[in-house]
Every structure is written in structure tokens, then in C-alpha cells.
Chains A and B, each alone.
Chain A
Amino acid sequence: MFTPHTKADVEAMLKTIGVEKVEDLFKVVPDKNRFPDLNLPLPLSEMQAATELDSIASANATTRDFISFLGAGAYQHYIPAAVDNLLQRGEFYTAYTPYQPEISQGTLQAIFEFQSLVSLLTGMDVSNASHYDGATAAAEAVILAYSQFRGKRPKVLLSRAINPQYREVIRGYMQANDAISIVGDDPETGIEPDLQKLIDQIDLDTCLVMVQYPDFFGRIIDYAPLIEAAHAQGALVAVVANPTALALLTPPGEIGADIVVGEGQPLGIPLSYGGPYLGFFAVKNALLRKISGRLVGETVDTQGELAYVLTLTAREQHIRREKASSNICSNQGLMTLAATIYMTLLGKTGFQQVANLCYQNAHYAANVVQEVPGFKLPFKSTPFFHEFVVQANQNVPELLAHLQDHGILGGYDLNQDYPELEGCLLMAVTEMISREDIDYLTDVLSEVKHA
């Protein structure tokens, strides 16, 4: 199967080594622990494995079986056929990290192009080669800001309208640091779109203020006043951004963000039950040296030909060891390739079309849902992109169960993270949702009302 050794090969090899049997190579392993039993099922042939996995997969109902309004950090988008076709080239996916530039120019140039596209999309100067996902990229932004001021500014302000999982991961990453204070996302500071209560907390102890764009509720908020207030106190600002939205929105870099991070899944990466995705991470030049993770730079070879290499590696764990600011070793190599191919393939026209379809479909959906008696849009006066909050006059878990019975995944129950949003649902609408789907949703919602 996967080991090619014939009996004759093994015998000849053992002779070269000078031992009698393969078991002799393991004499160093303590006797009583050597060759234990493994309680595993009997091995399957490839055909049997394919069948078993197919039957496990078939026990799921997917976003293809439902009309799905689930978003909240992962979004259903159309992935052009060429993306996966190119991704399945063995030269890409069976290669290692491009530490040997002479035989890795393909991976290196693709990452260089990824960095370029992310810089352009976010309006920043430098992007790295990616982090694990949006949440860990956000955590790395906190580490960066904290170390930028060498711990002398111990306060991190997080907007409460940042994805709750991101805030949880940030706290998880910083759990051993008793000096840092991560605040601002309490119910008292709240989720008002003017952010005044958050801005009021920015002071000389603040190293970083982080907001989301569009925020977790899909709202598009003008962060210029917040950024100005933060910079006036010498604090950095990180923006968690949705990359699809950035095809239409003013890039955060243009309004003064120091760091932009986000989840790259919408860029041609399948939902795949939550991973693997990619976290993008971009900064202004002033912070370039503080970026954690891999960076690809341009140079020349001994013949003067343009070449790409991993550079500034002295920041990383394999050189700085315990002095490195992050232990990250890999990047999301193949996922960055998927995103690069996706963004290039859609290009200027296709990418803006997708973003516009999301925007238009979502606005149509919001308009017709709020016309159903018993449903309203609590953040109606704030612009939004492709996600919005619906307030239902009833128990949300029951409503979602009812919708599920009618073939609809209705969205994300906000009450699980926000006690103040009782009866509220977060709905995402992308280009994958048709007008008919939306009309069907309102039909089902209208029935709920009568039920």
C-alpha cells in the first residue's frame, strides 16, 4: 500500500545494517512497553475507506441541503472550479515550507502575491504570509501591541461588537499574563454604534484598541473618530475586517488603522466545518519588524534574476527561541494559495460583483423580513454589509427549530453571547442565497407568526 518494501528488500537492507530482524532496531525501547496492542478497527481497503467516509459524510445535512443564513465568522461563497483544480496540483500541496528558495519559487511567489493582494485590500503597507485563522491573528495583534510598548501600556480595549469567539481566543492566548488588562467589551460599555463609551476609556495606559469592520452584527461604522482618539493617546488601533466587504468599503488603512487582521475563509475556502481557514495580518510600515509569522520578500539570485525568499526570519522562534514574541511556525500555506487564486480569478470585476451581490441580497432580505409582523431590525439606522440582526418576538431556539423543520438554517442566536440581545438572531446573506430563497424564508416566518 504505502510502504513499498518487498521481503527481499527488507532482508537485503537488514544485512546492510547488520541486524537480523526489524524488531532488533527497537531494542532501545523499554521491553515492557515495546509493541503494545492498539485497540483499533481492522484496516480498510481504499474502496472500503471511501465507502465508510462517504457514509459518515452522509450522516450530515449540509448548507447544500438547507437554505443557510448562518454566518457569524464563516461564510458560504461560490468557489470557482479553477481554485480547487489548481490547489490539487501535487507540486503545491506536497511541498514543505519554502526554506530552500531555489526549488520553492512557486510557493514563494504565490505568497508574495497573497501579501500584495492583502495589502491592497486592507490599505496597509505589509501583510505577512498568514496566521491560523482570524481569531489567532487578532490575538497576535494584541501580542504585537503589548510588546510594541514593552508592557508599559498594559490596557487593551476590545469592542463588544467583535466576534465573541475572537475575544475568547485573545483572552485564552493572554491567560498567563497577569499584567495585561483586556477590557471594553463589557455590557456597560455596550454595543452602541457611536462607540463613545469605548472611546472614553482610551488613555495613556492603552496599547491597543480593537474594533471589527463590519462589526459582528454586520454594521458598517465610521471608525475615524475612534482612531483619532486612540492616536491622540499614542495607542495603536487594530481592525478585524471581512475581506469580501473590503472590495466595496474604504480600506481600514486609509482611515488610519495600524493593524488589520481578519478571517480569510470567504476568499475561496470551503466551510469545511470550521477549518482549515486562514488569518490575514497586515500592518503599517512602522510595525513591520513586529510582525509575527512568515514574510516573503523580493531579492535577486547570484545571476541577478529576481527571486523570492523568506526574510526577516531572525524574528521567528527557530532563531529567537524563548525571545520570540510568538511560537508560530507554520502559516496556512495552501489556504493562502486558495485565497490568492480566488482573488486573482475574480479580479477587479468579479470580486466587486460578489461583494455587491452580498450587499444587495442582504438588503433585500432585511427589507422583506422586517415587513413580516413580529420581526424587526433593531439596528435599522446603521448601514450594514451582508449580515444583520433580526429581533423576533419569540423564543429564538424554537424559531430556529421551526425554520430547520422547513429546510432553513435561520442564523445565529445572539442571546448565547449577548444577554442584552434576547430574541435576536444574526442572519448572513451572500451571493449563494437567491431571491426565491429569501421569499421562501419570509413565507415560513409568516407562518410562524400564525402558528
Chain B
Amino acid sequence: MREPTIFELSSTGRTGVTFQEPDVPLSDFPQEFARADFPFPEIAELGVVRHFTKLSQKNYAIDLGFYPLGSCTMKYNPKINEATARYPGFAATHPLQPEDTVQGNLYLMYTLQNWLAEIGGFADATLAPAAGAQGELVGTMIIAKYHKDHGDLKRTRILIPDSAHGTNPASSAMLGFDPVQLPSDERGNVDLNALAELCDDTLAGIMFTNPNTLGLFDENTAEVIRIVHEAGGLVYGDGANMNALLGVFKPGECGIDVMHYNLHKTFSTPHGGGGPGSGPVMVCQKLVDYLPDPHVIMTDPGDEENPPTYGFARPEKSIGRIKTFHGHFGMLVRAYTYIAMLGQEGLRDIAEKAVLNANYLQAKLKGTYTLPYDRSCMHEFVLEGYWKDVPDIHALDIAKRLMDYNFHPPTNYFPLIVHEALMIEPTETENVETLDRFVDAMLKIAEEARTQPELLKSAPHNTPVKRADELKAAKDLIFCCYPVREWEKS
């Protein structure tokens, strides 16, 4: 049943949470600046609580079931993270407090910078970026500034594999680079011949996702890095898929120059219905001076009597500030908590189980669904959601039908290089019973595609709403549900 909007629920005169009257002598409000009307909703507290509780019940979530959404790493978000991030000692600190009053925050940030650098094999890290896409922006800014500082002004091209996330070309373009698409070879690796041909003294760098969006570890990793470095380019690592490599491979050790993590993927901070993310960026030694402002350093190593102290410093050749204050601190507390509980062995266990789960699903599904790149996968794999004998059935239909079996669908239509892609990432936190139930549903759907195709075409059947008319949304352009405002009537 449809839940009314907050404006429909509103009745003149009701109040939710109210406040005391001022106890200071009153000052007049300048009437020339006073707004004429303020038609905000008027709903009592219980009405508000029920409204949002009912809305929550219209969502699917990790806490409700299996969420194999490829490239998003929908792993369990530990409850302890939510508790620690809310400790008043963290949550009630103002970002502009004097450094001597926030030594706990600064210690946590300093330590996390070091941990994240260590896990990826880098020299240092910044915690400032608000999300993976902003991390990419920081990474490309660093690449741009590095070349500029070296007087290398003709380096204007950035190579981007055809399997990459859309943020890669968009980030490069924002920095004025010319993104050049790099083809993949028949095994899903970067095509080395094409790479060599595109490398010259106009190359700024490459944005290299490894494992790539097909879930494959690039078999030519070392070669790709060598070729780009020999041409004078830098290698940006898109670390979106680091969940497969924790404790397994340090990209920095292998020559990646700069890379971001998505804390909301790899390090278990919640996705929150589309954010907030957090996208720390790690760099190799030659790029540490370019990190954004602010950066946390140890200001005094301390001694037997006194603990070390920490503070902010602007790196010497910094690309500058990319958001207010110091990054998504609340997310940093969660990631710190997670890493502290896992340590080296726990992190490697994450990667191993994520890869085990993905290979298990791949092995069970590949006979029934086409697996375009048939080799051992990392944390995810991509199937074709299309069969030649039932050409009317598309990946989208399979995705929607999965909802009837109470599963979140895999990512579909990405990566672009696979026809009717279904990108499946089970993550390490799912048990084998869940994986088996998912396999059963996928096999059943493949059968239904032949026997009762209309079941797929009309799916989903049990969800709060059915398939939505996206064309109507794009034509009607209704973005608000407020009443007409007084000043607009005149």
C-alpha cells in the first residue's frame, strides 16, 4: 500500500518535537528579511516515526537478505562500527576544535592513514576524499600536478580500459585530460599490444582497475605497469575491488603509483542507501608531497613520560583542499574499528572467502548461464543474462524475477563489454546455504525462461511496486510534493 508523503500527512496545528521559549531578553527580527510563509509539515512525533518506519519496510537491505550486487561489495556492516562511530568522544567534536583537544581523533586518523598505506603497499594516504569518485578526482589531480611540476606539459592523455567504471573517464575529463579507451584482450586483460601503441610522451597515465570489473585479476599486471612507466606515465589504481586482494597482493609493491579504496566496499562501512561513502587515496613515495590538505602528521614522537602528539600539516606541493574539514570522519572510525578487529590474518581471510564464494557460484552457474571469460575469478564474475533460444528474455527480466525469490539482483548492463551482463559479487559474509539457495533460484529462473517466460517479463510480483514507467518520470519531471507557495500565487 502506498505510504502518503509527509505533506499529505500534515494537519495544521500538530507539532512534532518542539523547543522551549527563549529565556533571554528578546531582540526584534528584521522584518524586511522575514519569510512570508513556511508551509513545512505539521505531524505529531508518532506519525513521523510510523511514516519513516513504513518507508524502511519498502526497502531491501543486507540485513534482510543476499545482495550480490557486483562491484558494490555488499558485505555485512558490523553493528559494532555503528556503536563506535557514535561514541560522544567522536561524534560531539567540532571540526575546528584546537588540535590539543582532539588528540584522539588525530591519533585515529594518523593510524588509519598508516594502516591503509600498509595494506596497499604505499608510502602514505589521505583520508579526505568523500567517496570513491572524489578519490579518483584527487588521484587525477595528483597526476596532473606531478606532470606539471616536472614541466611535462604535453602529457594530456589518460588510458582507460573499456571495462572501467564510468567515473574513471568522468574524473579524467574534469581534470582536462583526454580519456582514451583501451581495449581488453580475449582473456579479459588489458590488451598489451594496444597499450604499447598508445604509449608515448603525451601519456599522463592509466586508470587501472585490478581485479577489473569482470572480476578478473589482470594476468599482465606487471607488464601493464612497466609499459606505462617506461613511457613516463603514472599508474592510477582504481581500488574499488580491493576486497579480493586484502593480505593477498599489495598494489603499491607492484608499482601502482596512486590508488583509492572505497571504505564502504572493502572496509565494511554502510552504503546508507547511496552514501555517504569514503574514498581514501594512497600514494607511492614520490607523490606524498602532493596529497590534499589537510594531512595528519605526528608533531612530536613523545617520550617515556609523554605520549606522541598529532596535528595537521599541508603537504609541500599539495593539490589543495577538496572538501570542507577532514573527510568523512564517522566512516573513518568505522573502518578503523573493522581493521582493528581483523588484523593481518582476518583481512586475508576476508579476501580468501570472498574469492571462494565467487568461484563457488561461478562453478555452479556457468553451465546454465554463458560465462564469457571462463577462468578462475576473484571476488566477482560476470555472466550473460541472455539465451539465444529465448531471445525475448533479457538480463533485466532475470534481475527482476530474482526479487520474487527474495534476492537482490546482481548488477546488470555493466560492464559494458559483456552483452546483457549480470555481475555477481557474493562477498565473504554469506554462508554456503545462502549461496545454494541463490543458485537454485538462478537455475529455476533459467528453466522458467523456457517454460513460463511471462513470469520473467512481468516480474517482480510481490514487491511494494511493480516495474516503474521510467519514460514518464523523465517526461513529467516531478521532483517535489510540496503545496504551492504563497509568493508563487501572486
Question: Please, which residues of chain B bring their CB within 8 A of the CB of A251?
Answer: 35
Of residues 276 to 317 in B, which have CB atoms within 8 Å of A's CB atoms? 276-278, 292
CA distance A313 to B384 in the complex (A): 24
Q: Mark A373-416, 1 if CB is under 8 A from B, else 0.
A: 00000000001000000000000000010001000010010000
Stretch at the interface among A181-189, A194-202, A204-212, A267-275: A267-275
Q: Mark A68-107, 1 if CB is under 8 A from B, else 0.
A: 1010111010101010111011111111111011111111
Q: Are A360 and B22 in contact (CB under 8 A)?
A: yes
Smallest CB–CB gap between B98 and chain A, Å? 7
Whether, in the assembled complex, B363 has its beta carbon less than 8 Å from a beta carbon of chain A, the answer is: yes
A-B pairs, top 5 by smallest CB distance, nearest first, are A57-B89, A274-B325, A90-B63, A274-B95, A334-B272
Chain B, Cβ-Cβ closest to A291 = B479
With A176-B174, A273-B326 in contact, do A319 and B166 touch (Cβ < 8 Å)? yes
Q: Are A43 and B341 in contact (CB under 8 A)?
A: yes
Q: Are A29 and B217 in contact (CB under 8 A)?
A: yes
CA distance A412 to B7 in the complex (A): 39
Whether, in the assembled complex, A27 has its beta carbon less than 8 Å from a beta carbon of chain B, the answer is: yes
Q: Are B27 and A321 in contact (CB under 8 A)?
A: no
With A2-B429, A50-B80, A404-B101 in contact, do A327 and B61 touch (Cβ < 8 Å)? no
With A40-B343, A270-B91, A332-B276 in contact, do A35 and B348 touch (Cβ < 8 Å)? yes
Q: 11 A-B contacts, Cβ less than 8 Å apart?
A: A5-B353, A16-B360, A25-B359, A30-B249, A33-B254, A86-B52, A97-B271, A110-B52, A249-B33, A274-B325, A307-B469
With A57-B90, A248-B29, A348-B40 in contact, do A335 and B276 touch (Cβ < 8 Å)? yes
Which one, A17, A70, A86, contacts B49 given CB within 8 A? Answer: A86
Q: Are B176 and A177 in contact (CB under 8 A)?
A: yes
With A25-B355, A341-B48 in contact, do A91 and B479 touch (Cβ < 8 Å)? no
Of residues 18 to 55 in A, which have CB atoms within 8 Å of B's CB atoms? 18-19, 22, 25-30, 33-46, 49-50, 52-54
Question: Please, which residues of chain B bring their CB within 8 A of the CB of A329?
Answer: 131-133, 166-167
Chain B, Cβ-Cβ closest to A74 = B95
Q: Are B24 and A59 in contact (CB under 8 A)?
A: no
Whether, in the assembled complex, B203 has its beta carbon less than 8 Å from a beta carbon of chain A, the answer is: no
Whether, in the assembled complex, B150 has its beta carbon less than 8 Å from a beta carbon of chain A, the answer is: no
Smallest CB–CB gap between A334 and chain B, Å? 3
CA distance A229 to B73 in the complex (A): 50
Q: Are B101 and A106 in contact (CB under 8 A)?
A: no
With A38-B119, A276-B328 in contact, do A330 and B95 touch (Cβ < 8 Å)? no
Interface size on A, residues (CB 8 A): 199
Question: Please, which residues of chain B bring their CB within 8 A of the CB of A272?
Answer: 85, 90-91, 93, 329-330
Chain B, Cβ-Cβ closest to A296 = B479
CA distance A39 to B59 in the complex (A): 40
Whether, in the assembled complex, A363 has its beta carbon less than 8 Å from a beta carbon of chain B, the answer is: yes
Q: Are B76 and A103 in contact (CB under 8 A)?
A: no
Question: Please, which residues of chain A bring their CB within 8 A of the CB of B403?
Answer: 100, 102-103
Smallest CB–CB gap between B55 and chain A, Å? 4
Q: Are A333 and B23 in contact (CB under 8 A)?
A: no
CA distance A336 to B413 in the complex (A): 28
Question: Please, which residues of chain B bring their CB within 8 A of the CB of A352?
Answer: 38
Whether, in the assembled complex, B197 has its beta carbon less than 8 Å from a beta carbon of chain A, the answer is: no
Question: Please, which residues of chain A bring their CB within 8 A of the CB of B14?
Answer: 347
Q: Are B339 and A40 in contact (CB under 8 A)?
A: yes
Q: Are A4 and B429 in contact (CB under 8 A)?
A: yes
Smallest CB–CB gap between B466 and chain A, Å? 4
Chain B, Cβ-Cβ closest to A426 = B96
CA distance A409 to B102 in the complex (A): 13
The majority secondary structure among interface residues of chain B is loop
CA distance A343 to B7 in the complex (A): 12
CA distance A136 to B322 in the complex (A): 7
Question: Please, which residues of chain B bring their CB within 8 A of the CB of A41?
Answer: 340, 343
Which one, B38, B75, B222, B485, contacts A247 given CB within 8 A? Answer: B38
Chain A, Cβ-Cβ closest to B72 = A96
Chain A, Cβ-Cβ closest to B355 = A25
CA distance A129 to B273 in the complex (A): 11
Question: Please, which residues of chain A bring their CB within 8 A of the CB of B173?
Answer: 322-324, 327
Q: Are B39 and A120 in contact (CB under 8 A)?
A: yes
Q: Mark A129-156, 1 if CB is under 8 A from B, else 0.
A: 1101111100000000000000000000
Question: Please, which residues of chain A bring their CB within 8 A of the CB of B23?
Answer: 434-435
Q: Are A22 and B330 in contact (CB under 8 A)?
A: no
Stretch at the interface among B104-112, B228-236, B385-393, B448-456: B104-112
Question: Please, which residues of chain B bring their CB within 8 A of the CB of A307?
Answer: 465, 468-469
Q: Are B473 and A120 in contact (CB under 8 A)?
A: no
With A274-B325, A300-B469 in contact, do A129 and B167 touch (Cβ < 8 Å)? no
Whether, in the assembled complex, B368 has its beta carbon less than 8 Å from a beta carbon of chain A, the answer is: no
With A43-B341, A100-B403, A344-B51 in contact, do A49 and B84 touch (Cβ < 8 Å)? yes
Question: Please, which residues of chain B bring their CB within 8 A of the CB of A134?
Answer: 324
Which one, B42, B82, B347, contacts A348 given CB within 8 A? Answer: B42
Chain B, Cβ-Cβ closest to A397 = B98
Question: Please, which residues of chain B bring their CB within 8 A of the CB of A50?
Answer: 80, 83-84
Question: Please, which residues of chain B bring their CB within 8 A of the CB of A316?
Answer: 166
CA distance A104 to B67 in the complex (A): 13
Smallest CB–CB gap between B232 and chain A, Å? 19
CA distance A176 to B80 in the complex (A): 42
Q: Are B45 and A345 in contact (CB under 8 A)?
A: yes
Whether, in the assembled complex, A446 has its beta carbon less than 8 Å from a beta carbon of chain B, the answer is: no
Q: Are B431 and A4 in contact (CB under 8 A)?
A: yes
Q: Are A351 and B40 in contact (CB under 8 A)?
A: yes
Scoring B18, B67, B364 by chain A CB atoms within 10 A of each residue's CB, the highest score goes to: B18
Which one, B6, B18, B249, contacts A36 given CB within 8 A? Answer: B249
Question: Please, which residues of chain B bring their CB within 8 A of the CB of A159?
Answer: none
With A82-B17, A311-B470 in contact, do A105 and B464 touch (Cβ < 8 Å)? yes
Q: Are B59 and A104 in contact (CB under 8 A)?
A: yes
CA distance A18 to B472 in the complex (A): 49
Whether, in the assembled complex, A312 has its beta carbon less than 8 Å from a beta carbon of chain B, the answer is: yes
Q: Are B24 and A129 in contact (CB under 8 A)?
A: no
Question: Please, which residues of chain A bring their CB within 8 A of the CB of B330?
Answer: 270, 272-273, 275-276
Q: Mark B130-171, 1 if CB is under 8 A from A, else 0.
A: 111110110001001100000000000000000001110111
Given A96-B72, A247-B40, A298-B478, 20 more pairs with CB closer than 8 A: A2-B350, A4-B431, A22-B355, A27-B376, A35-B348, A40-B339, A92-B272, A102-B400, A107-B59, A133-B325, A134-B324, A135-B323, A165-B321, A166-B324, A172-B320, A294-B274, A335-B275, A347-B14, A363-B27, A409-B101
Q: Are A60 and B103 in contact (CB under 8 A)?
A: yes
With A271-B92, A364-B24 in contact, do A176 and B344 touch (Cβ < 8 Å)? no
Whether, in the assembled complex, B346 has its beta carbon less than 8 Å from a beta carbon of chain A, the answer is: yes
